Structure 1
Amino acid sequence: MILTSIINIVYIVRRSLATHVIDNRTQTFLNSLEENATIKTSKKTISKTDQHFERTYKTFLHSFVETYVSTTQNRTITLNYCPPVPPNLQGSLVVNNVPDNFSIATNSSYYPNVELGGHYHPTTCLARHKIAIIVPYRDRLDILKHFLYHTHQIVQRQQLDYRIYVCEQAYNKTFNKGIVMNGCFKEILKLQPDTPCFIMHDVDLLLIDDRNMYTCPIFPRHLSVAIDKFHFYLPYTQLVGGVLAMRREHYVLVNGYSTNYWGWGGEDDDMYARIVNKNLKVERPPASVARYKMLKHTHQKLNPSRMKVLRTAHIRIDSDGVNNVKYTLLNTTLYHLYTHFLIDVGEEPK
């Protein structure tokens, strides 16, 4: 289309210049009858040149339109949207051990179709959903390795346009999940500002039913409903920790995670309060498909002051979160299977 417009402009300008030359010659004819023969010759020359230009223009335009239409039709045929229900889903899954030669530090031969930075999109159809998977992380290399090995294969079967972001808190400081998540959210939008859907995903949870789609519906969706550690039973209805899917606009609306929880626990229950306060509701898929295996690891001690902070959740929503989070991005590294953000959360207030 752009090229056609350019051709049309050239055509109009060419015609205008030709007319302008003729008008000048005509004026000369009126002023000086002696140059009549020269004017006639000049008119004939211009007329022949103009006719030649018109023939060339029409020929080229016809050729371009045929080529453009043909190319557009081929793209329409080859780049149809993926089916609403991905055809290669397997349902209930068995968690396999990580192969000895699997590495997350170098290019992995297990996932050659994953692009640098942990990005993948289907090649046979257009993905219906684009997502960013945010994984807060610190000091769990073996678990991260297992998570990446397991998750890539599942999300690919869901035919998603996805990218995995591992957000690591730097230094041996008290962990603050809220700052890490909010900082990661902001950095992702700097790299991919058109990302519409965010999956907040604990690194120690492995999906064991690929029918649990990693997409963002109308409302926030709590995906980790049934975890083996809890005998595949939801501990309490306010729980949104583990794996949570949220649209970008909803994350901004609730102001992301609170940054006032230092240590383990409290920030996810605070997120639930934010969702409800903003007149959203939490959706959940059936427990028969929203199933996860929790990898074994040493749990951190609970934050003893979390309940005190949680009691003020409703009055801090607009003043404590992603809109005023303070952090320092120390490094961004693109590995084959993931994008790594190293974030300094600062010092815990005394």
Structure 2
Amino acid sequence: MAVTRLTEQTQTLKGKTTEVQTKLSSCPETSPHLVGPLHVEFNWSRTMEAVRTECGSSLLEGGRYKPPDCISHHKVAIIIPFRNRHQHLIQWLYYLHPVLQRQQLDYGVYIINQDGEGMFNKARLMNVGFAEALKEYNYTCFVFSDVDLIPMNDRNIYGCFSKPRHLSVAVDKFGFMLPYSTIFGGVVSLSKEQYLAINGFSNNYWGWGGEDDDIYQRIAIKSMSITRPDMATGRFKMIKHERDVHNELNLHRGEILEKTSSTMEEDGINSLRYTINKIEKDTLYTFITVDIGSPK
């Protein structure tokens, strides 16, 4: 009898929840919670537990969030390729969760951790993030972000637009200037359709360099162009660090890049191979440790 009564109560609650949800309207095109320029300072004594305490109350398991009072225009998976950058991740989570919530995004944070000590492959990890995020939710937008880049203006929306978007256009490392006109790296966004049209990222860039230029070529080959925020809105602060071990300069990036137009249909999300070793659900993120193999 008690079980029956509980079931009835649950169904009633579910009905009320559904009724409330159907009454929600779309969020405003521009969130009223944005504040504009942000002061960013890195605190190296900050702990992950402190960030959980400060930022975790509004989050669901896995670093998921939805605006409570409206339906977001953006269903966004934030993909971070990762290895041995835990202090950087603490800073990123501390700043980005409040920004993403003020932007009224329906989002999840996915940390794609390359297992082992082999040569790093950032682009392949980003492909893994795309594939794994879609197993959990019907994301329509994907933001690919380096873990060491923090936005300095919350009006730089981590969402998707009618064209692929380059968000990190004015990084302090480069004097808040665009290094070159065809750069498409650091923090970028692509809709699901845009990403699939270019077959995602190349899987063949082992070590540092080349994958950003490759994806720009893919976009151009498919007759798309990119958009950027203005230089004031697109300001970012980079966490200074030394080049990671096993992420040495890719000496073959030029010759791979020359072949992009002839290889992109077979080299990308449709040829991705990987093995999931572990998935951890934290309040602040979903941490996926993956074996992506090694250079042939």
Q: TM-score when scaled to structure 1? A: 0.76
- Give ranges in structure 2 of 5+ residues lacking alignment: 1-14
Note if 1:323 corresponds to 2:267. Answer: no
Displacement after TM superposition at 1:99 (Å): 7.9
Note if 1:334 corresponds to 2:281. Answer: yes
> Is contact 1:105–1:336 with CA below 8 Å preserved after alignment?
no
Of 241, 250, 256 in structure 2, the residue corresponding to residue 303 of structure 1 is: 250
Q: What amino acid is aligned across from residue 253 of structure 2 in structure 1?
A: R
Structure 1 segment 54-203 matched on structure 2, within 5 A: 79-98=24-43, 100=45, 102-103=47-48, 107-192=52-137, 194-203=138-147
Displacement after TM superposition at 1:104 (Å): 5.3
Show the counterpart of 2:293.
346
Show the counterpart of 1:245.
189
Is the partner of 2:278 in helix, strand or coil?
A: strand
Q: What amino acid is aligned across from residue 294 of structure 2 in structure 1?
A: E
Q: What amino acid is aligned across from residue 169 of structure 1 in structure 2?
A: Q
Displacement after TM superposition at 1:290 (Å): 0.7
Q: 1:76 to 1:343 in 2, by over 3 A?
A: closer
Paired residues in the alignment total 278
Note if 1:267 corresponds to 2:214. Answer: no
Show the counterpart of 1:3.
none
Displacement after TM superposition at 1:341 (Å): 0.9
RCO greater where, 1 or 2, for CA within 8 Å and sep 6 or more? Answer: 2
> Is contact 1:106–1:335 with CA below 8 Å preserved after alignment?
no
Structure 1 segment 201-240 matched on structure 2, within 5 A: 201-240=145-184
Is the partner of 2:76 in helix, strand or coil?
A: strand
Displacement after TM superposition at 1:100 (Å): 4.4
Displacement after TM superposition at 1:96 (Å): 3.5
- Give ranges in structure 1 of 5+ residues lacking alignment: 1-67
Show the counterpart of 1:8.
none
Q: TM-score when scaled to structure 2? A: 0.89
Of 232, 247, 252 in structure 2, the residue corresponding to residue 288 of structure 1 is: 232
CA deviation digits over 1:290-342, x for unaligned, max 9?
A: 11000011124321111111111111110101101111111111111000111
Displacement after TM superposition at 1:97 (Å): 3.8
> Is contact 2:55–2:98 with CA below 8 Å preserved after alignment?
no
Is the partner of 2:184 in helix, strand or coil?
A: coil
From the two aligned structures, give the one with the greater helix fraction: 1
Q: What amino acid is aligned across from residue 328 of structure 1 in structure 2?
A: T
Q: What amino acid is aligned across from residue 114 of structure 1 in structure 2?
A: L
Which has the higher Rg, Structure 1 or Structure 2?
1
Displacement after TM superposition at 1:347 (Å): 2.0
Runs of 4+ in 1 over 2 A off after TM superposition: 74-77, 96-102, 104-111
Identical aligned pairs, as a percentage? 42
Displacement after TM superposition at 1:105 (Å): 9.7
Separation in 2, partners of 1:145, 1:342: 18
